Copies of this chain bind each other. A is one copy, B any other.
């Protein structure tokens, strides 16, 4: 909450690496559909940013004027309910476009908070608009991203927001596994974060994690890292679904 640290320019990144042409996530990213010259122009306008874990990429209500592509790490979207509680409504992984509402000249609808250390690419709205005017493929790509965000929200709602606590936790682990860049280890949220994602008390989240550990589904490596036994996880999920 009081985390003041916000976005920091990546000072140790040489200009070349900030070129979209060389970016590793380009095939997954918004401008992946652009050709050579357009891509170079667009890449000149984008700014790489690093956000430490807990920092905000943008805040609800801000009139940001930019969209962001997640280059590494995991970003969460937070809302505050009318009763003042924090709810995490969705996660975004590598390659995801976030803050799209800025394209409508609308303030951001939610807080976008870095779960892990995060690198994003800031893309000014004007850059997107300029390319959109001439590139039907980019317009299509934008729509595709809006739709996938919508579907992710629907699935979150269906799978992670309801049902027995154990099932929700298992689903969360499966989801985090999909989001993890390297296949072996996943980001392990704090109990409070799990609580905000699944709508559970932090104590309940802790109990469930402990239980998964004892079952060998989860191997906790550090406070924020763990490995999952994929086989046991899917077996446990199947049992919970029955």
Contact = CB atoms under 8 A, between A and B. Distances in A.
A193 interface: no
Contacts of A165: none
Nearest to A144: B104
B158 A79 contact: yes
A35 interface: no
Nearest to A240: B83
A162 to B, nearest CB: 4
Interface of A is mostly: helix
A146 B140 contact: no
A156 interface: yes
Interface stretch (A84-92, A176-184, A202-210): A84-92
A161 B199 CA distance: 9
A21 to B, nearest CB: 27
A154 B240 contact: no
A221 interface: no
A89 B158 contact: yes
Interface in A45-81: 77, 79, 81
B237 A163 contact: no
A101 B163 contact: no
A158 B101 contact: no
A205 B79 CA distance: 26
A109 interface: yes
Interface of A: 77, 79, 81-85, 87, 89-90, 100-101, 103-104, 106, 109-110, 132-133, 136, 139-140, 142-144, 146-147, 149-151, 153-159, 161-163, 167, 199, 237, 240-242
8 nearest A-B residue pairs (beta carbon): A162-B199, A153-B153, A161-B161, A83-B241, A146-B146, A79-B158, A87-B158, A89-B157
